Amino acid sequence: MPAEPHDATPRIERALVAPGHDGSAELLLRIRYGDGSSDSVTLDAAAAERLLDQCGATALEQLVGQPWRRLLNVLEQSGD
Amino acid sequence: MDLIIRNGRIVDGTGLPAYQGDIGIRDGRIVSVGGRIPGTATEEIDAAGRVVAPGFIDPHTHFDVQLLWDGQARPALEHGITTVVPGNCSLSLAPLKVEHRPRLVGMFQQIEEMPDAAFDGAFEWTWESFADYLTALRSKLAVNVAPLAGHSVIRLWVMGDAANERAANADEIAGMQELLRQCLEAGAVGLSTSFVDVDERLQPVPSRYAHAEEIDALAAVLGEYGRMLQVVPEFYATDITLARVDQLAELSLKHQIPTTFSPLFDSAANPDNISRVMARVEEQMARGARVWPQVQTRPIDISFTFEVASLLFAGTPGWYRTMRLPRDEKIAALRDPERLARLLEEAEPGGNTDRFRKMRVRAVARREDDGLVGRSLGDIAAERDSTPARVMVDIALANDLDASFVATDLGHNDPARVGALLAHPMVHIGASDGGAHIQSFATYGDTGYLFSRFVRERHDLTLEAAVKKITADTARIWGIAGRGLLQPGFAADITVFDPDVIDRGDEVVAHDMPEAGMRYVRGSRGIYTVVVNGAVAWSAAAGGYTEARQGQVVTR
């Protein structure tokens, strides 16, 4: 069996504010996975607030490096 | 002849070079194009120095409700739009059982920001079926309508409350197929569905509970009629959008239907999105699939108030923290000189006012501040010998936080990238959302902006190519027969404009919704005459809108 990578946890690699289609600002997160691949996820203002709170972050830069589990919790709370 | 438009520069929608000539119209149809038409007509228009083009077609609107009290779809008509496609994003006003009306109103209010008054007394609900809805519309129309039937309301009709709870069973899918068939027979131009939208309870709209087999079954019905499937994909995630492109391509090939998805827009935060999606579209189109991405012309603005914390402030943690405070504490913080001084230094470090200088006042509660609406914070600051951030706070506090501001051109705003995208032969220009988001921004004038920005200023498209994109191409993509070209036998939908002037006007507040409800609008510039089915429906020379009501449901 191949050994597990040292840290296979997907983590937030980048957090940017982006314009949303409906004229509101959104939070665009890039997630880097343990296998090296990446994807992006967009949060609305309310979900972004919850994520910042959950991470104890006061600035977007502090989201970088946070594990994806935090994000999952936030998305589960959003009800969709 | 009923009408002759003389001496115009005819841009006929084919994309071929413009030429001089007259256009003759009788009984709502074009009977002669080019050359000098002898004799006279009941009405004649001199179009010397102006372009005569087919009326523009807007393929992504939400005028469903507005059309019931405003058959002119103001202000779309004055921008040269002669045909609108309502019913996008899984939402249409029919088919709809009486008991489901509150649900639909909630969805429209959540997704399209339609106010209560738009539904409450502004029109009479006289229909349940799609056919009866079209009957209610027909006598009012000054513009043409090519309506979509919404997947969410079809689901609601067949499944009731379960539409928001689960996948459909075989009987329910069969019921939806039959209902869709009735809509298409009545004149629906296709089916719209959404994988994204939420209702007023922030729960997924009914269409989002559909499994792939349900969408496949409905697409099969569309295939019986060769009609359109419109989709809102997960546009915020490129990988999922790619999967949707593949899904649409399979449906298109299997059922021989056109499909379109919207929106697709460019953002500096996700710079690979456009190239990746378009590469997949090209790949699928090469297989013979019809998967048309809709791209808007206008850049994206972001609005905000001090009432809620906008992510626009996330880059300035002190401001973001303050914005997230409870209302009273927030006001106290902004009134505290020391705390405000710290916020101002964070917003304008070392006197650099770039962050807020170009932002504009969008709306105010106090009458005495009406004159500030539309002006930039930099402009107001100069007048008050202040700074942009300071005047923003002053205006917010003076209006008890009931003031809104707008940061313009924040997304889809790289003109070279957007221009190249709009000119791409596989891009369908649309996604205006006309008639939606009415209290956030103006969704009108995208066609004027296409000509002013991407034809006249940047030359990304020729005049002829731009006209073709929003007339003949649109009609062909959607299967709207007999429109989109200036040719004998075609419907006389015609827009006359000055190519050196055509543009969208400034965004302004209007109180022209039912019960003086507010919305943002833009007037047009450089449009001279708009003809719908042979009747002059808007004329600058005649002072604007006319009494003509020659609009039709163009799919029947």
Which token pair is B372?
Answer: 């500030």
Containing structural domain, residue B461: 56-299+412-538
Q: Can you name the residues that pair with B509 across neighbouring β-strands?
A: B520
- What separation in angstroms does the CA of B21 have from each of B5, B39, B187, B459, B487? 9, 14, 35, 25, 13
pLDDT of A7 strictly over 80 = no
Same-domain status, B182 and B322:
no
Q: Which residue of B has its CA nearest to A43?
A: B236
- Please give the angle made by the CA atoms of B252, B254 and B258, to the nearest 5 degrees: 20
Q: Is residue A35 part of a domain?
A: yes
pLDDT band at A18 (very low <50, low <70, confident <90, very high): confident
The C-alpha of A9 sits at a distance from chain B's nearest C-alpha, in angstroms, of 20
Same-domain status, B68 and B200:
yes
Question: How confident is the model at residue A1, as a pLDDT?
Answer: 46
Question: How confident is the model at residue B299, as a pLDDT?
Answer: 94
A with B: how many residue pairs have Cβ under 8 Å apart?
88
Residues of chain A found within 8 Å of residue B237, distances taken between Cβ atoms:
39-42
In three state form, how does the secondary structure of chain A look? CCCCCCCCCCEEEEEEEEECCCCCEEEEEEEECCCCCEEEEEECHHHHHHHHHHHCCCCHHHHCCCEHHHHHHHHHHCCC
Q: Is residue A25 part of a domain?
A: yes
pLDDT of A3 strictly over 60 = no
Are residues B254 and B246 in contact, defined by beta-carbon separation less than 8 angstroms?
Answer: no
Report the candidate in B178, B188, B73, B83 with the shortest Cα–Cα distance to residue B131.
B188
Complex ipTM, two decimals?
0.82
The C-alpha of A45 sits at a distance from chain B's nearest C-alpha, in angstroms, of 6
* Structural domains in chain B (count): 2
Average per-residue pLDDT for chain B: 95
Give the pLDDT confidence of B397-416 residue by residue, as tens digits. Answer: 999 999 999 998 888 999 99
- B440 closest CB neighbour out of A19, A22, A45: A22
Higher pLDDT, B203 or B37: B37
Q: Is residue A1 part of a domain?
A: no
Same-domain status, B237 and B90:
yes
B311 and A28: CB-CB below 8 Å? Answer: no
Q: Is residue A47 part of a domain?
A: yes
Same-domain status, B99 and B128:
yes
B237 and A42: CB-CB below 8 Å? Answer: yes
User: What is the average pLDDT across B527-544?
Assistant: 97
pLDDT band at B186 (very low <50, low <70, confident <90, very high): very high
Same-domain status, B382 and B417:
no
Q: Which residue of A has its CA nearest to B209?
A: A80
Alpha-carbon torsion, ordered B303, B308, B311, B316, to 10 deg: 110
Same-domain status, B457 and B376:
no
B440 and A28: CB-CB below 8 Å? Answer: no
Q: How far apart are CA B88 and CA B112, in angstroms?
A: 11
Are residues B158 and B176 in contact, defined by beta-carbon separation less than 8 angstroms?
Answer: yes
Same-domain status, B214 and B339:
no
Q: Is residue B35 part of a domain?
A: no
Most confident of B78-87, B103-112, B506-515: B78-87
Residues of chain A found within 8 Å of residue B236, distances taken between Cβ atoms:
20, 26, 28, 40-42
- B312 closest CB neighbour out of A17, A21, A40: A17
Same-domain status, B170 and B270:
yes
DSSP letter, residue B177? H
User: What is the average pLDDT across B142-150?
Assistant: 98
pLDDT of B45 strictly over 60 = yes
pLDDT band at B511 (very low <50, low <70, confident <90, very high): confident
A28 and B239: CB-CB below 8 Å? Answer: no
- B311 closest CB neighbour out of A21, A25, A78: A25
A80 and B314: CB-CB below 8 Å? Answer: no
- Is the pTM higher than 0.80? The answer reads yes
Q: Can you name the residues that pair with B56 across neighbouring β-strands?
A: B81
pLDDT of B442 strictly over 80 = yes
Is the peptide bond preceding residue B349 cis, with omega within 30 degrees of 0? no
Please report, for the domain that includes residue B204, its CATH number.
3.20.20.140
* Structural domains in chain A (count): 1
Report the candidate in B100, B78, B76 with the shortest Cα–Cα distance to residue B86.
B76
Question: How confident is the model at residue B283, as a pLDDT?
Answer: 98
Question: How confident is the model at residue A79, as a pLDDT?
Answer: 46
Question: How confident is the model at residue B410, as a pLDDT?
Answer: 84
Q: Is residue A3 part of a domain?
A: no
Q: Is residue A51 part of a domain?
A: yes
Give the pLDDT confidence of B450-487 residue by residue, as tens digits. Answer: 999 999 999 999 999 999 999 999 999 999 999 999 99
CA dihedral over B217, B474, B551, B485, signed as positive or negative: negative
Same-domain status, B135 and B249:
yes
Q: How far apart are CA B56 and CA B539, in angstroms?
A: 16
User: What is the average pLDDT across B28-46?
Assistant: 96
Report the candidate in B261, B216, B219, B212 with the shortest Cα–Cα distance to residue B238.
B261
pLDDT band at A6 (very low <50, low <70, confident <90, very high): low
Containing structural domain, residue A28: 11-74
Same-domain status, B133 and B198:
yes
Q: How far apart are CA B2 and CA B129, in angstroms?
A: 36
Count other C-beta atoms under 10 Å from residue A42's C-beta: 19
User: E strand or H helix at B110, and its extent?
Assistant: helix B101-112
CA dihedral over B87, B89, B91, B94, signed as positive or negative: positive
Residue B232 dihedral angles phi and psi, to the nearest 5°: -100, 105
Amino acid identity for residue B147 in this structure: P
Are residues B444 and B79 in contact, defined by beta-carbon separation less than 8 angstroms?
Answer: yes
Give the pLDDT confidence of A31-78 residue by residue, as tens digits. Answer: 999 888 888 888 888 889 899 999 999 888 999 999 988 888 887 665
Q: Is residue B425 part of a domain?
A: yes
A25 and B202: CB-CB below 8 Å? Answer: no
Q: Can you name the residues that pair with B536 across neighbouring β-strands?
A: B531
Q: Is residue B45 part of a domain?
A: no
Give the pLDDT confidence of B486-496 residue by residue, as tens digits. Answer: 999 999 999 99
Q: Which residue of B has its CA nearest to A19?
A: B411
Question: How confident is the model at residue A78, as a pLDDT?
Answer: 56
Question: How confident is the model at residue B342, as a pLDDT?
Answer: 96
Q: Is residue A77 within 8 angstroms of chain B, CB to CB?
A: no
Q: Which of A12, A16, A22 to mutate to test the interface with B (most CBs of B within 10 A)?
A: A22
**First-to-last C-alpha distance (Å) of chain A:** 37
Final residue before a domain boundary, out of B384, B409, B434: B409
Final residue before a domain boundary, out of B388, B409, B430: B409
Query: What is the percent of chain B where pLDDT is above 90?
Result: 82
